[in-house]
Amino acid sequence: MNSKTYKYIIAFSILALLIVTGLLLIRNPAETENIPVNKNQSVIEDYRNSGDRYPGNSSQVIKEAGMVPVYGNWRTFTTKDGLPSDKAYTVRIDGDRVLVGTHDGMAVYENEKWKTYTTKDGLAHNGVVSVDVDELTGDVWIATLGGLNRWSGGKFETFNQLNSGMPNDLVYNVFCYGAHIWVATGGGAGHYDTRTRQWEIFTEMNAPMHEPWTYALSAGDGKVWIAAWGGGVIEYNTETSQFRDYVDPDGFMEIDLQPDDGVIHDITTATAYSDSILWVSTYFGMSRYDGKNWKGYFDHDSGLASNFINFIRAEGKVVFVCCDNGLSSTDGTTWVTYKKDDDSENGKAIITYGTEKKEIPLSPSISHNFIIGVDACGDFLWAATSKGVCRGELIK
Amino acid sequence: MKRYLKLSITAVLILAVVALIYPPYSRWARDHVNKITATTDHPVRCGSCHLYLQKPGFISKLVNAEYHSPFNLAVSEDGRSLYVVAEESNKLLVVDRESRKITHEIGVGVRPHSIVIDRGGKTAYVSNQWSDNVSVVDLASFHVKEALKTGNGPAGIGLSKDEQSLFVVNSFSSDISVIDLKTSSERKRLTAGNNPTGLQSSPDRSMVYITSRRTLSKPFDDTIRCELTILSDGKQRISARKDIISAYMMENIAFTPSGDLALMPVVRPKNNVPTIQIERGWMMTGGIAVIEMKPEGRIAQLLLDEPNAYYADPFDISVTPDGKTAFVSHAGSDCISVVDIDAVREIIAGSTDELLEQYAHHLGISSRFVIKRIPTGANPKGLAISPDGKELYVAEHLDDRIGIVSTETLEMKERIDLGGPRRTTVNRRGRQLLNNAGGTFQNQYSCFTCHPDGHEDGLVYNMASKDMGRNMTNTQSLRNIGDTPPYKWNGKNQTVYKQDGMRFSTVLTRNEPFSYRDLDALTAYIMTGIPNPPNLLYNPAGELTDAQKRGKMIFERTHDFAGFEIPVSNRCVTCHPAPFFTNLQMVGVGTLAASDDSILFDTPHLNNIFASPPYLHDGRAATLEEIWTIYGKTEEHGAVNDLTKIQLNELIEYLKSLRDPDYEDGSNKTLKAAFGNK
C-alpha cells in the first residue's frame, strides 16, 4: 500500500473513533454535578433512597413505559368498606399498613381491615390532610386542620399554636426529616426538634416568603423546600440556616414567557425531592430542577393529566402527580397517566413517550379523577381522591 | 486578803456588766431570732443560722461533709462484687462481698444514677444524671473507657438483647436514647412518658419497659395517669404506651422470672380532694402495680400500706430467682416490704375487674400478700439480689451503707460501711428528715413524696384551709430557695422555719410538729442543701443562642414594638430580675380563679423553669406558651399582645435558658465536672 492509502486509513479510523465516541456520549451523558453528601441523618437518606420504597417498573411488560411503573388491578375503598369518609385527603404507606387522612378522621388499613381514629381518640381535628412516618422511631405525625398530632405506641399527643411553638393550627403538610418534624401551615412553616422540643418557625418576618401561607414541604440532602402559596419555593439549608427562594422569573401569572427559566409558577402546591431531583407542583403546571437546570411541564406539551396539581410525591426517579383530572407519573421523559371514564368504573393508563402515546384499558380504574394524595411503595400505588382511596398493583 | 478582795471586786464588776448587758442583749437576740424564723419561740441558738445556713465557703466546709449516698447497685455474676453507684461522691464503688471492703473507687460523671453490667461482666455502664452522659467502665482495669452522650438527665439504663445497643432513659427530657455501642453514638431518640426513670427488660428480652414519675398533663380534678412505656427490643421502637390510672412516682419495675407478671412500685396521690383527712389514706397511699403480661392482661394496683400504718415512697423492687418473693424498698419509711408473689397471683386470678378496682383503694389487702417488713437504714433506695438468691442488697442512701438481708430469714444480717463520714451533719440530718415520713400522721408521706429530689411533683393540690375546695395550688420546687422568701404562693410564710413549723403540722402532717433541733436541721438542708441541676439542655455553657438573645431583649424591653412605653409594673424584668428572677414581692397577674381568695401571689423564681410544668399558681398552664396564649390575654402578666408567634417563641426560648445563678460564674464545680466528664 502506498502512503496515500495509509493516510486514508488513518483519517478514516480517526473519523470512526470520533463517531463512536460521540455516540457513546449521547447515550451516557456524564454527571453534570456531584451529588452532595448528606451530612445529616445519613441513615434516613439511605432508607429513603433505598429500594425499599422504590416502585418497580413495568418495562418488562410495557416497554413504552420505560422506567415508569404502570399499575393496574385497581381496587377502591369507600365508606362501604369501612373508610370514615369518601373525601380522602392523603395517603401514606407504612410497612404493612396504610394510613389515610380523610374528612372524618384518620383511617388505618391493616390486615385487610379499616380502623378509624377521630378526635375522640385524641386526634386534634378530624380533617386529616397529611401524614408522615418517622423512619427511625416509627412515630406517625398527622397534620390536621386543627393542629398536629404525634401518634406513637397507640397514643396521640397534640401540638397546637396555643400549647407549643407551632405557627398555626391549620397544618397542611408534615414531613419527617431526621430528628426534625417540618410543618407547612397557614401561618408559616417551621420545624420541631424532637430532641430539644424546640420549635423554629418561619414566616414573611424572617424568611423570603411574601406571606406566611405554606402548603407543603419536602427535604433531602440537608435542604428543605417549602411550597409557599404565591411565593414559589423557599429553600432552607439546614446546615447554614440560610434561605434562598425560587420564583417564576416571568412574573406573569398565566404565561410561561420563557420556558424552563425557573419554577413554572409561584402558586406552588407541593415539592418533592428524590434522587437529587426537586419536583415542584403548582396550579399551573409542574417543574423539575436538578440543581442547575429547570424544566417545566404543561398538559399541552407532556403527558401531564392537568396543569392544576394538588400534590406530588417522588419515589426514586419517578414522581407521582395528583391532578384535578387524573393521576400522572413520570421520570421527566416518559409519562403514565391514569384516568377514569366518566360513566363507568373503567378507565385507562395513557403512556406518553416522546410524541407517541399508548393507551392501556384498565378495568376497574382509579376511583376518581380528582386526586388529592398519593403514595407508592414496592408493588403498590395508593391514591386519595374525593371518592375514596384506591390501590393499584404494579403490572409486571 | 487583798488578792481575794481584788478577785471578788472583779467578779462582782463582771457580773454587774453582764447583768446590765444581758437583758437588752437577750431581748435583742429574741427579737432577732423571731424576725429570722418568723416564729416567737424558736430557741435562741446562734449556730442554727450562723453555722448551718452558710453558703458554700469555709464555714460550710467545716460543718458539712461529703457523703457517698449509695443510690443503686448491681451484683457481679459470681456474686463476689457489688457495684455501688454513689450519687453524691460521683463514684462507682466496687465492693468485695467477702471482705466487705471497697476495692476500687472509680470517678464517673455527676450525680450517677443507675448501672448495668454486660453479660460477660467486663463492662459496666453508669448513667450520670447531671452530666448527660454514660460512663463506660472497664471492669478489668476499673477505669472509665469513654463517655457516651445521651439526652438530658440519664437515669435508668439497660442493654439490648444482643448487647449491641444501650437504652438510656433521659429523665429530664422524657425520652430514651438508643445508643449504638459499635459507633458509640446515639442512633435514635424515642419519647417516653413524663420524667421517666426506671428501665427493665422482660425476661425474654423482647421488650423493654420504662416507668415514669410524673403524670401526663391533665386539668386539675381530672383523673391522673402516668405512662408505662413499652419498647420493642428488636425493632427499637415504641410498641405501646399504657396509662396507669391514679398513680405516679413509678420509679422502677421488675419481672417475675417466668415473665407472667411485671411489678412496679406506685404512689397514689389524692390531690383532687382537699387535704383535710389524712387518715385512711386520704393524702397518699403506696403500693405496687401488677401487670399481667399475657395478651389482654390486666393491670391491678394493690396497696402495700395498712389501715393505720403507711409505707411511704416505694422506690425499687427486686424479685428472687425462684419468682416467689418480691422486695420493695420504702425510701420514706426506712423499711422493705416482703411480698409473696404467689399470693398476689391468687388475688389477681380470683378477682373481677370491679374487685381489683376496689383493691386499689383497700388498705387491708396488704395483709394477704405482705409477709414481713424489714427495717433498714435511712432512705433505702436501690435493691439487688445475689445470683444465688440468698441475699438482698439494699442501698441505704442516707446512711452510706449497704444493708444485706437474708432472703431466707428475712432479717437484716449485716451491713457494709462504705466509709463515708462518721458524723451525721446537721444538713445530712435535715436531708434524712425531708426523706422520711416519720413526721406525718401514721408515716403516710414524706416531704420527698410531693418534692421528689427536692423538686416538685407536677401536681396541683387543694391544701386544707378554712374554705374547702378553694385555693388550689401547684407544688413548688425547693431547689435553691434559700434566697427567695417568702414561701407559699400566697407568701404567708416568711421563712422556712415558719413553713415547716407548727402550721405545717396542723395543715399537712397532722402530727406532732418537728422538734426545734429537727426543724433547724430540716431548714438547714432546704436552705442550703438542695441545688438545681445544671441546665444542660437549653443553656449548658452560659452562651445564649440567637433566638434566646432575642428573647432576652423581649424579656428586658421597656417599650413594645409599636414604640409605646410598657408600664414599669408590667415589664417582665421588673418582677423577675436576675439572678433568681424574682423581686420577692407580692403581685397580681390577672390569674385569680373563681375558687381563689382575693390575694396577691409571691413572685416565683424562674431558675430552671423549663423543668417545672405545669405553670401558674394553680397549674392551669400546661406549657410555658399557655401562660400567655390562653391565660395572658388581659396583659396583666406582662405585655405580650404585640408579639408575633416567632417573638413569643423566642421569649419562651429565653425563659427555658434560665438556670441557677450558681452556674453563672463558670467556676461551679458541678458544671465543670459535668463538662469534664466527656
Q: Which of A96, A171, A198, A203 to mutate to test the interface with B (most CBs of B within 10 A)?
A: A198
Residues of chain A in contact with residue B230, where contact means CB-CB under 8 angstroms, are: 153
* B301-349 per-position pLDDT tens digit: 999 999 999 999 999 999 999 999 999 999 999 999 999 999 999 999 9
The shortest CB-CB distance from B189 to any of A43, A155, A179 is to A179
The mean pLDDT of chain A is 89
Distance CA(B629)–CA(A168), nearest Å, equals 12
- Search chain A and give the residue with CA nearest B236: A137
The CA R_g of chain A, rounded to the nearest whole Å, is 23
pLDDT interval class at B674 (50, 70, 90): low
The shortest CB-CB distance from B238 to any of A153, A196, A198 is to A153
Amino acid A149: pLDDT:
98
- Search chain B and give the residue with CA nearest A155: B241
* B646-667 per-position pLDDT tens digit: 999 999 999 999 999 999 876 6
Amino acid A252: pLDDT:
62
B25-39, B325-339, B540-554: least confident range: B25-39
Say if B2-65+426-530 and B546-663 have the same CATH topology: yes
Distance CA(B554)–CA(B598), nearest Å, equals 30
- Write the CA distances from B130 to B133, B150, B354, B523, B654, integer angstroms: 8, 11, 43, 25, 21
- Contact yes or no for B264/B288 (Cβ under 8 A): yes
- Contact yes or no for B251/B226 (Cβ under 8 A): no
The verdict on A150 touching B (C-beta cutoff 8 Å) is: yes
Provide the 3-class DSSP secondary structure of residue A159. strand
Quick check: A152 and B175 CB within 8 A? no
- Contact yes or no for B439/B417 (Cβ under 8 A): no
Distance CA(B231)–CA(B254), nearest Å, equals 15
Amino acid B86: pLDDT:
98
* A75-125 per-position pLDDT tens digit: 999 999 999 999 999 999 999 999 999 999 999 999 999 999 999 999 999
The shortest CB-CB distance from A152 to any of B187, B188, B238 is to B238
Residues of chain A in contact with residue B209, where contact means CB-CB under 8 angstroms, are: none
Amino acid B280: pLDDT:
76
In the predicted model, is pLDDT for residue A37 greater than 50?
no
- Contact yes or no for A280/A269 (Cβ under 8 A): no
Q: If you write DSSP's letter for every residue of B55-72 in order, what string do you get?
A: PSSHHHHHH------EEE
The shortest CB-CB distance from B189 to any of A188, A195, A205 is to A195
Provide the 3-class DSSP secondary structure of residue B171. coil
Q: B2-65+426-530 has which CATH code?
A: 1.10.760
The verdict on A179 touching B (C-beta cutoff 8 Å) is: yes
A346-360, B46-60, B160-174: least confident range: B46-60
Residues of chain A in contact with residue B235, where contact means CB-CB under 8 angstroms, are: 138
* B568-597 per-position pLDDT tens digit: 999 999 999 999 999 999 999 999 999 898
The shortest CB-CB distance from B644 to any of A137, A162, A205 is to A205
Compute the average pLDDT of residues B635-654.
96
The verdict on A97 touching B (C-beta cutoff 8 Å) is: no
pLDDT interval class at A138 (50, 70, 90): very high
Q: Closest Cα to residue B302, out of B333, B272, B326?
A: B326
pLDDT interval class at A26 (50, 70, 90): low
Distance of CA B519 to the CA centre of its chain: 20
End-to-end C-alpha distance for chain B, whole angstroms: 78
Amino acid B218: pLDDT:
76
Quick check: B625 and A152 CB within 8 A? no
Distance CA(A176)–CA(B662), nearest Å, equals 39
HSE-up (13 A, CA, CB side) for residue B161: 14
Percent of chain B at pLDDT > 90 equals 78
Percent of chain A at pLDDT > 90 equals 76
Q: Other CB atoms closer than 10 Å to residue B63's CB: what's the count?
A: 15
Fold of B546-663: Cytochrome Bc1 Complex; Chain D, domain 2 (1.10.760)
Residue with cell 422511631: A137
Distance CA(B343)–CA(B369), nearest Å, equals 5
Residue B190, min C-alpha distance to chain A (Å): 6
Distance CA(B447)–CA(B449), nearest Å, equals 5
- Write the CA distances from B482 to B260, B404, B497, B659, integer angstroms: 49, 38, 11, 16
Distance CA(B175)–CA(B195), nearest Å, equals 8
More confident residue, A11 or B294: B294
In the predicted model, is pLDDT for residue A392 greater than 90?
yes
Compute the average pLDDT of residues B143-162.
97
Distance CA(B502)–CA(B512), nearest Å, equals 8
Amino acid B190: pLDDT:
98
The verdict on A361 touching B (C-beta cutoff 8 Å) is: no
Three cell numbers written together for A81: 368498606
Residue with cell 396507669: B244
pLDDT interval class at A364 (50, 70, 90): very high
The verdict on A154 touching B (C-beta cutoff 8 Å) is: yes
In the predicted model, is pLDDT for residue A31 greater than 60?
no
- Contact yes or no for A271/A218 (Cβ under 8 A): yes
Type and span of the H or E element at A13: helix A3-27
Quick check: A165 and B625 CB within 8 A? yes
More confident residue, A30 or B360: B360
pTM: 0.91
Give all domains of chain A, ordered by start, each with its CATH number.
3-394 (2.130.10.10)
At a CB cut-off of 8 Å and minimum separation 6, what does B512 contact? B505
Distance CA(B389)–CA(B252), nearest Å, equals 20
Give chain B's count of helices (H) and strands (E): 15, 32
Q: Can you say whether the dihedral through the CA atoms of B338, B343, B345, B348 is positive or negative?
A: negative
Distance CA(A242)–CA(A134), nearest Å, equals 25
Amino acid B499: pLDDT:
87
In the predicted model, is pLDDT for residue B277 greater than 60?
yes
pLDDT interval class at B169 (50, 70, 90): very high
Residues of chain A in contact with residue B644, where contact means CB-CB under 8 angstroms, are: 203, 205
* A47-76 per-position pLDDT tens digit: 344 445 777 777 767 788 888 999 999 999
Domain residue spans in chain B?
A: 2-65+426-530, 546-663
Amino acid A49: pLDDT:
40
At a CB cut-off of 8 Å and minimum separation 6, what does A238 contact? A40, A177, A180, A219, A222, A223, A224
At a CB cut-off of 8 Å and minimum separation 6, what does A240 contact? none
- Contact yes or no for B86/B69 (Cβ under 8 A): yes
Distance CA(B538)–CA(B517), nearest Å, equals 40
The residue count of chain A comes to 396
Amino acid A52: pLDDT:
59
- Write the CA distances from B286 to B242, B320, B459, integer angstroms: 19, 22, 16
Amino acid A42: pLDDT:
32
Distance CA(B251)–CA(B586), nearest Å, equals 37
Distance CA(B148)–CA(B142), nearest Å, equals 17
